[in-house]
Amino acid sequence: MAKNVLVIHGPNINLIGSRETGIYGEESIEDINKQIILHAQSLSMNCKVMQSNHEGEIIDMLHAAKTEYDGIVINAGAYTHYSYAIRDAIAAIKIPCVEVHLSNIYNRDEFRQRSVIAPVCAGHIAGFGKFSYMLALYAVKELI
């Protein structure tokens, strides 16, 4: 039976393709999402992709995932660096979660180099553009 994986994009990820293209590239998030879903299918996983610019909505997604999904890939965007609420939601649901970032957060502003969600995630993948998501899907498959 295929496993279910949820991919969550946080704030401003909906603007990928037009936002800071020197960092995030010109490919739209819609195109990347299609590739994420196809890659999950190639790994025999069902995949749903969701995005929100609102912290509470991301927390609600995580809570709902507890009964629907076997694994999570999350790019929490700027919430990565300060949202203890998202960190606590990840810890509470006890589903394998892999944190991803398109850019290498360690090559950027100092405030971006710290992740408060990393300690409750199974792993962290950053700096490979859209391929960060593909690598995370491999990881989630192995974890579940």
- Residue 63 designated active-site: no
CA distance 28 to 62: 24
Helix 131-143 / helix 29-42 crossing angle, nearest 10 deg? 30
Q: Which of 24, 69, 79, 133 is catalytic?
A: 24
Q: Which of 9, 39, 101, 124 is catalytic?
A: 101
Phi, psi of 18 (to 5 degrees): -125, -15
- Residue 54 designated active-site: no
Q: Taking CA 68 as the corner, what is the angle to CA 101 and CA 42, rounded to the nearest 5 degrees?
A: 60
Give the residue numbers annotated as catalytic, written as ranges. Answer: 24, 101
